[in-house]
Amino acid sequence: MGAEIVIDGPSGHVLRMPRTADESGLDGFLVATSLDRFLAMVTWWIAGRRILGTLENQDEDHLFRQHIEDAVWEIDAAGAQSEAWTYALHND
């Protein structure tokens, strides 16, 4: 995710903190609405990234990236809106 991940105590939200003071979002960027959803999303994301490394067909690669995004979205639509989930999928 490129930065520290923290859990907000009152809400239970999982947040990605900015790397520098110049980066916007000093209160953190929502990456999951709860710890259990975050862990499920990470599991799909890591497994998907590992499988992507084995694909040789560009069409399969594209479709599988979409499948990973859809799976993360199904788990937590609010958290999945964070670019942290998709940036590394599309920018190797």
Q: What stretch of H or E contains 89?
A: helix 83-90
Hey, what are 15's tokens? 């947040």
- Which structural domain, as residue segments, surrounds residue 23? 5-90
Q: How far apart are CA 74 and CA 80, in angstroms?
A: 9
Lowest mean pLDDT among 14-23, 58-67, 71-80: 14-23
Predicted confidence (pLDDT) at residue 67 exceeds the cutoff of 60: yes
pLDDT of residue 24: 62
Hey, what are 37's tokens? 């959803």
Do residues 43 and 32 touch, judged by C-beta distance below 8 A? no
- What is the tally of structural domains in the chain? 1
DSSP for 37-57?
A: HHHHHHHHHHHHHHHHTT---
3-class secondary-structure state, position 25: coil
Predicted confidence (pLDDT) at residue 78 exceeds the cutoff of 70: yes
